[in-house]
Chain A
Amino acid sequence: MKLTTRVAAGALAIGLLTGCGSPAPSNAPQTSQPSAPKKTTAAVATAGDVVSLDPHDTNDNLSYGVENTIYEGLVGFDKEMKVIGVLAEKWEASDDAKTFTFHLRKGVKFHTGEDMNAAAVKKSFLRVADPANKLKRNSLFNTITSIDTPDDYTVVFHLKEAFGAMLYNFAHPAGKVIAPSGVDKGKDEMAKNPKYGTGPFMFKEWTANDHLTVVKNPNYWNKDAAAKVESINFKPIAESGTRVNGLKAGDLDFVLPLPGVDAQALQKDAKVKVNVAPSIYSFYMAMNVTKKPFDNIKVREALNLAIDREALRKGVLRGFADPMTSVLAPNTGFYVKQGDEIKRDVAKAKQLLQEGGYTGTEVEIWHSNATERKDIAAAIVQQLAEVGFKAKSVPMDNATLSSNLWTQDKDNNKVQLYLGGWSTSTGDADWAIRPLLYGQSAPPNGYNVGFYNNPKVNQLIEDGLKTADATKRASIYADLQKEIWQDKPWVFLYIPNNVWGTGANVEGAFVQGDGIVNYNGIYFK
């Protein structure tokens, strides 16, 4: 082989391996300068990439947060998860909870220039309510049978059956109104090209797993709530250490989530701010009440008394959690405090285990393999051992866990204890309880993984849906919470906080109780 041939072979080899390509688009952060001018673009780090940008076909908080900058619903949530008007100025529900009427705000235009009116709202909700469109959030709206538009700014929704929690479904992030021209587009276009909202920001570009940019909507209808920055750049950063370093280096302005250990360390850093807010995420350990020993309430009470919740909150979660005082988190609709956090009582727990007929059999605690979840499980195993209850932590990846938990019915499901949590994105008591503790919500139909089937609880859940009257619903959910708190289908644990980091000069963005971020008001001081 001559030298020239060898060089050619070498070149071919390198060519085969490297290929050709143009430079990547420029979006990397610049190294921060001490005297940089005031920023006009907010750099936000998210733990993963956006999955979809079609609000009707989304089921993850991260995507909802980005969609919230672009799209708006008839109603939405404030910081405390209270329902507030957005595109609707006012609304009313019929007594039988079958008809919901919304009076729309006038003078609102979509980013496409189309008018936001009753016809547009109707078209948007018919899209998500139609199962033929195979949209992920169809079940929130498939109870809609027809939509009337008596005038240009009034929309009347008729439901198949009474559904008292429907207002909260409209406030859910999936209840966004999409411009008529967007509805005409296919699902694939809507997932990646969300140009059809009315929100304070407009979509600019998205390179999957690299960055997503939204820019200020100069014609936003609500001048008081108009964007205060020119753009927001979302960057997926999976590694929490990198998010923290990016924040400290000034390359990032908003970081979520922030693990407790990082939050604790960052609290000493003057250049950044650690923000803490209550969540509506209930964290619990479900017991399979169809299996021994959990069919006996004394054993369920014993396990509740065996746990030192303060040690979990302060030790494992570094103080970033609140006590659990009902099956609902305090900011969930119709929450009623049932008492103080359950205190540990080792002697009583041992006595109840004996009375409940616990024979010393070891049981498995199933949970996800996320680091914090494993730490909590390890602490629980140790605390249970101290009262003589043998448990083993069994971490699984999410796919395996969900397959084992949610797909098997009562006779085939091997779950004994499941450690997990739930937050309701409707903010209402119904969706915080019904999927988890209603008899008919047992897998594979729902998430009642303890196969709890209490007739009184079932009846109250059904009653809560038959009326939209807030006073009547409050009374029903008060009774419901009391019954569940007494019957203890779960080991009630705690309500974790939402914890996020920002630059010291960053204000205006906040995390709602359900974990979804509202970036719309972000600005630099």
Chain B
Amino acid sequence: MLRFIGKRLVQLIPTLLGVSLVIFLFVRMIPGDPARLIAGMGATAQDIALVREDLGLDRPAVQQYFSYMGKAFTGDFGKSMRTRLPVTQEIGTRFMPTVKLAVVSMIVAIALGLLAGVVAAIKRNSWLDYLSMTGALIGVSMPSFWLALMLMYLFAVKWHLLPTFGSDSWKSYVMPAVTLGVGAAASIARFTRAAMLEVLGQDFVRTARAKGLQESRVNLRHALRNALIPVLTITGLQFGFLLGGTVVVESVFAWNGIGRLLVDAVEARDYPVIQTLMLVFSLQFVLINLVVDLLYGLIDPRISYE
């Protein structure tokens, strides 16, 4: 298994190099002059020229790319053009808040999603099934922006139970995690139901029942476990998206996360921050895929990495 992990990690290097080149070219192709944006409205042509020189944007693009990548290999991703803070610091301070929120949201999503999906499948065509799937449909369709503001109005403004914004106490996690978790839970519930229904109709489930096993054991031990592979895939994808930051929820709850940083960086055409964030996102997705692959082996003994 270690060899498998090692091989996948080595494959990361060309992936990240490719991403770095594509992003470097892409951010320079979109309209907008960072020097002008950073100099600000009202800046004179001379002010803008000074900013451009200061940011190193007066150098040829090829030179800028190799300079960025050369330093990146030593862990120096440059400074934010907008704030002059090191990019590693800009991303570093926002990374853990995003990860923590993503983990808590996924716990909410998995708990709600699996429960609703399993119940809907077992009680197919019953009111529980309709309730779960209607709930899932609402969860998928409900704009997170609206849900966030509704929760905030009720729990912070009206009942004073939770803080309107912030990110430190456990109370701060409740509303953003529920907002994000509900959307992800809806997808997980629908996938779980579909996968469970497929598995429940298979011969080995009938055999398990014929052996006289308890219904709960048949459903959880035999059916659910075999239905988990597609659920795991969608969960991994959802987690990847959450780790990429969630601009809406971060904005609404003033959560100091990575999604908002990306939006600010794109608006300001802050090249070093955009480039580095894209590398981080690529790295995250590759690692999540790796972890999901490892988890396949954990839940299905037939999958081996030896």
Interface, chain A (partner B; CB < 8 A): 1, 6, 9-10, 12-13, 16-19, 21, 23-33, 48-49, 51-52, 59-60, 131, 134-139, 142, 187-188, 191-192, 207-210, 235-239, 241-242, 245-246, 248-249, 251-252, 397-400, 402-404, 406-407, 422, 425, 431, 435, 444-447
Interface of chain B, main secondary structure: helix
| B246-257 Cβ-contact flags toward A at 8 Å (1 or 0) | 000001111010
Please state if B31 and A404 are interface contacts (CB–CB under 8 Å): yes
Can you report 8 residue pairs joining A to B where beta carbons are below 8 Å apart?
Answer: A59-B39, A136-B39, A207-B256, A241-B252, A246-B164, A246-B165, A425-B42, A446-B45
Beta-carbon nearest neighbor of B299 in chain A:
A6
> In the complex, which residues of chain A have a beta carbon less than 8 angstroms from the beta carbon of B256?
24, 207, 209-210
> In the complex, which residues of chain A have a beta carbon less than 8 angstroms from the beta carbon of B287?
16-17
Give which listed residue, A16, A246, A402, contacts B37 with CB less than 8 A: A402
Beta-carbon nearest neighbor of B257 in chain A:
A209
Please state if A24 and B168 are interface contacts (CB–CB under 8 Å): yes
Give which listed residue, B31, B97, B153, B291, contacts A400 with CB less than 8 A: B31
Q: Quick one: given A9-B297, A139-B43, A210-B256, are A251 and B37 in contact (CB under 8 Å)? A: no
| B273-305 Cβ-contact flags toward A at 8 Å (1 or 0) | 000000000000001101100110110010010
How far apart are B50's CB and chain A's nearest CB, in angstroms? 4
Please state if A249 and B294 are interface contacts (CB–CB under 8 Å): no
Please state if A406 and B36 are interface contacts (CB–CB under 8 Å): yes
Please state if A9 and B1 are interface contacts (CB–CB under 8 Å): yes
Give which listed residue, A49, A187, A239, A399, contacts B31 with CB less than 8 A: A399
> In the complex, which residues of chain A have a beta carbon less than 8 angstroms from the beta carbon of B166?
27-29
Q: Quick one: given A209-B256, A249-B157, are A398 and B37 in contact (CB under 8 Å)? A: yes
Give which listed residue, B167, B169, B291, contacts A17 with CB less than 8 A: B291
How far apart are A202's CB and chain B's nearest CB, in angstroms? 21
Q: Let me know if B143 is at the binding interface, CB within 8 A.
A: no
Beta-carbon nearest neighbor of B240 in chain A:
A17
Beta-carbon nearest neighbor of B96 in chain A:
A21
Mark the stretch among B80-88, B112-120, B215-223 that contacts chain A: B80-88
Interface, chain B (partner A; CB < 8 A): 1, 30-33, 36-47, 50-51, 53-54, 79, 82-85, 89-90, 93-97, 99-100, 103, 149, 152-153, 156-157, 160-169, 171-172, 239, 243, 251-254, 256, 260-261, 264, 267-269, 287-288, 290-291, 294-295, 297-298, 301, 304
The answer for the CA separation of A191 and B153 in the assembled complex, in Å, is: 37
How far apart are A468's CB and chain B's nearest CB, in angstroms? 21
Beta-carbon nearest neighbor of B89 in chain A:
A208
Please state if B99 and A9 are interface contacts (CB–CB under 8 Å): no
Please state if B83 and A139 are interface contacts (CB–CB under 8 Å): no
The answer for the CA separation of A16 and B243 in the assembled complex, in Å, is: 12
The answer for the CA separation of A26 and B167 in the assembled complex, in Å, is: 8
Give which listed residue, A31, A399, A403, contacts B162 with CB less than 8 A: A31
> In the complex, which residues of chain B have a beta carbon less than 8 angstroms from the beta carbon of A9?
1, 294-295, 297-298
How far apart are A250's CB and chain B's nearest CB, in angstroms? 8
Please state if A12 and B294 are interface contacts (CB–CB under 8 Å): yes
> In the complex, which residues of chain B have a beta carbon less than 8 angstroms from the beta carbon of A237?
165, 254
The answer for the CA separation of A239 and B287 in the assembled complex, in Å, is: 32
Looking at A13, A23, A435, the one whose CB has the most chain B CB atoms below 10 A away is A13
Please state if B291 and A407 are interface contacts (CB–CB under 8 Å): no
The answer for the CA separation of A134 and B149 in the assembled complex, in Å, is: 43
Give which listed residue, B50, B83, B298, contacts A6 with CB less than 8 A: B298
Q: Given A24-B96, A402-B41, list of 5 further CB < 8 A pairs?
A: A21-B96, A31-B160, A134-B54, A138-B47, A399-B37
Q: Quick one: given A19-B96, A135-B50, are A13 and B254 in contact (CB under 8 Å)? A: no
Beta-carbon nearest neighbor of A237 in chain B:
B254
How far apart are A483's CB and chain B's nearest CB, in angstroms? 23
